[in-house]
Amino acid sequence: MQTLISVLPYIQIGLSALLIGAILLQQSAAGLGGAFGDNFSSGFHTKRGFEKTLFTSSIVIAVLFVISALVALLIR
C-alpha cells in the first residue's frame, strides 16, 4: 500500500502528459473556418485510421486518469 501511495503521483503525471499530447495532436473539427461562421461542412466527417485511434486512446487515457485520481482520493 505504501508503494502505491509513493508511485501514484508519478503515474498521474505520466497520464496527464499523455492526455495533453493526445489532445493537442487531434485536429480541430472547425479549423480556421469555424472562427468565421462556416461550420456546416466541417462537422460531418467520419474519423478513420490514426485520427480514430488517437480519439479512442485519449478517451482511455482520460478514464485511467480519473480512476487514478479516485484511487488517490480513497487511499488518503
The number of distinct structural domains making up the chain is 1
Q: Please report the pLDDT score of residue 61 as a whole number.
A: 98
- DSSP at 29: S
15-55 pLDDT, tens digit per residue, is 999 999 999 998 765 555 555 555 555 566 788 899 999 99
pLDDT at 11 over 90: yes
pLDDT at 48: 87
Kindly report the pTM of this predicted structure: 0.77
Instruction: Indicate if the pLDDT at residue 6 is higher than 90.
Output: yes
The answer to whether the CB of 65 falls within 8 A of the CB of 12 is yes
Report the alpha-carbon distance of residue 20 to residue 72 in Å, rounded.
20
Of 27, 25, 14, 24, nearest in space to 64 by CA: 14
Q: What range does the domain containing 23 cover?
A: 2-75
